[in-house]
Chains A and B, each alone.
Chain A
Amino acid sequence: MNIRRFPLTREISLLVLVYLYVPVVVLVGYSFNANRTATVWSHASLDWYGRILANPTIQSAAKNSLVLALCAATAATVIALLAALATSRAFPGRGGVEAVLNTPLILPEIVVAVATLMLFVALGVQLGLGAMILAHTAFCIPFAYLPIRARLEGMNQSFGEAAQDLYANRFRCFRRVTLPLLWPGIMAGFTLAFVTSLDDFLTSFFLSGPGTTTLPVYIFSSIKAGITPEINAISTVMLVISVLLVSLSFFLGRLRR
């Protein structure tokens, strides 16, 4: 029987959608509210967007977030690419290696964040952007690894053989065949890692030194002073960036399958 014909399927689906998205819609809606109090609607305006653009603290937080996400995602993608290439061939203990690579996905982030903080303090690593990049790189690896690995899995292994048969040594084969074919997977992995880093609050909160706030940390600290539509506006901007990047990653992942 067709699942779409079950009674109430449409009603239940609508309910779930509302449940999922109402908070976000309300948040976005109120970012266009002119009233100073976030929960009282007066009339539509782009005032708050103008204000966040002019706010130097937000500007610097945004810059930190972008630099952090860019560095962490790049490093994580390079490591993930190497890991994916290494685990594409069978060897004893491959399952174990893959499990270790993907464990950060399920570890409680608070535990990892605290552990990283303690380690850095013990090692005397200075907290701040550098420390955050190190930590973000670590938890971004599985996000970059999975799409690359999937792409590699779907790749016909005879492409590599064909390249070598046509006089390309291993390096040339990688440059001319494997890498170009993996590219959509690499870009998808990079975007996922980028968004994950951009979104992160816990690790950044623990490791941000004085003066190196990221956007999520800024939102958290300003919310303690009361909810203003300014926060709605920043959150909306982050939301739009994340959705765009994840959609991009999705389409890249499907490219030229």
Chain B
Amino acid sequence: MTDSSAVSIRSVSKGFGRGTAAVRVLENVSVEIGQREFFTLLGPSGCGKTTLLRLIAGFETADQGSISIDGQDVTQAPPFRRPVNTVFQNYALFPHMTVEQNVGFALVEQQMPADRIRARVGEALEMVRMQSFARRRPAELSGGQQQRVALARALAPRPRVLLLDEPLSALDLKLRKEMQIELKLLQAEAGITFLFVTHDQEEALTLSDRVAVMQGGRILQMGPPRDIYEAPTHRFVADFIGDINLIEAEALPDNAVRLPGGTQMSLPHKARGRITLAIRPERARILAPEAGQLQAQVIHTAYLGTALVHKLALADGGTFLLRQSDLDGPQPAIGSQVGLGLPAEALRVLAQ
């Protein structure tokens, strides 16, 4: 039992509309999500992440492929027969019920005896620290409180998988940060699988055990946040997550590349033809002029408190971002010429 995936999505495709207005929203998507994993679907709006979540919840039906939860095929099952619960983007708390009644809703449907419902509702509200609001109506709560109640409501029936559809997007920044930490703690406490959908890359990296980056109805890259950040395989992934510098280069035999400006260096990866190299701003170094692999001119420096971010103009016209976290080190003057050191192990070769 524990060996099977919490959620298993095999070759799922989904389209909306018919004829010329038809849109393919998901193209042959396959994912295995492990037990007790915090898994995030990350991508811009329209990438298909919400549709994938809705397919798992059962609000939509897949055109092709199969979905199983805990080894049970649920591809055709209605939402009320799936052992998953959803935290909706707008919370969707029932306005005519109290907090208590909202949290107990699923338990009543499961025909649990009243005293057990009361105990379970109390537990769920305690988990999100909302016990003292049990008798309130959703309209009397703040956004953050509604968010907590929505979480408690979805957790109360102890689903196998909790689906979260951009649950933090309606909160302000400070509250969002707090709720991120709470979500992570809650997941550890509840010990269930979380499937989280967001367009916020920082949120995805902070919270997740694994992230799947989606674009145009496909999963481009899937892995732990660190891999996604440090070893993006696609230009889109590199661009979408954090700041990145892209360098067009030419691959030569024996793992060597020719950079713009003619410098050659060797790479730890194999490549062929015209390639795009990626390097994070914090991985490049400022060196003396004529040293390093690229030559550039400093055009702007921003002080961010924990680091300096230099914006540099490359000789071929491109711009380059460089993050200097050593605030006490030498700082190049605006307008000065510098050399850029690109450590070979920090360079990634991207698929287009």
Contacts and interface: CB of A to CB of B under 8 A. Distances in A.
A71 interface: no
Given A167-B109, A168-B109, A161 B94 contact: no
B59 A161 contact: yes
A169 B77 CA distance: 12
A27 interface: no
Contact of B106 (A159, A161, A166): A166
Given A166-B85, A168-B80, A161 B105 contact: no
Q: Which of A156, A161, A165, A172 has the most CB of B within 10 A?
A: A165
A168 B92 CA distance: 15
A58 interface: no
Interface stretch (A6-14, A176-184, A195-203, A244-252): A176-184
B90 A164 contact: no
Given A158-B90, A161-B59, A167 B95 contact: no
A162 B88 contact: yes
Interface of B: 57-59, 78-81, 84-86, 88, 90, 92-96, 105-106, 108-110, 153-154, 157
Contacts of A156: 90, 92
A228 B93 CA distance: 58
Nearest to A160: B92
Nearest to B156: A166
A158 to B, nearest CB: 4
B80 A167 contact: yes
B109 A159 contact: no
Interface in A201-257: 256
A163 interface: yes
A165 B143 CA distance: 21
Given A166-B106, A166-B109, A256-B96, 16 more contacts: A156-B92, A158-B92, A159-B94, A161-B88, A162-B88, A162-B94, A163-B105, A164-B80, A165-B59, A165-B80, A166-B157, A169-B78, A169-B80, A177-B94, A181-B94, A256-B95
A6 to B, nearest CB: 39
Contact of B85 (A159, A165, A177): A165
4 residue pairs, one from A and one from B, having the closest CB atoms: A166-B106, A162-B92, A167-B109, A158-B92
B86 A167 contact: no
Contacts of B106: 166-168
Contacts of A161: 57, 59, 79, 86, 88, 92
A172 B96 CA distance: 15
Contacts of B86: 161-162, 165
Nearest to B111: A167
Q: Which of A166, A168, A181, A256 has the most CB of B within 10 A?
A: A166
A187 B328 CA distance: 73
A252 to B, nearest CB: 14
A219 to B, nearest CB: 42
A167 to B, nearest CB: 4
Nearest to A158: B92
A181 B78 contact: no
Nearest to B89: A158
A181 B95 contact: yes
A164 B79 CA distance: 6
18 contacts: A158-B88, A159-B92, A161-B59, A161-B88, A162-B93, A162-B94, A163-B94, A163-B105, A164-B59, A164-B80, A165-B79, A165-B85, A165-B86, A166-B105, A166-B109, A167-B80, A167-B110, A167-B157
B190 to A, nearest CB: 17
A167 B58 CA distance: 11
B96 A180 contact: yes
Contacts of B154: 165
Contacts of A166: 80, 85, 105-106, 109, 153, 157
Nearest to A181: B96
Nearest to A155: B95
Contacts of A165: 57-59, 79-80, 84-86, 154
Contacts of B95: 181, 256
Contacts of A169: 78, 80
Contacts of B84: 165
A135 B93 CA distance: 42
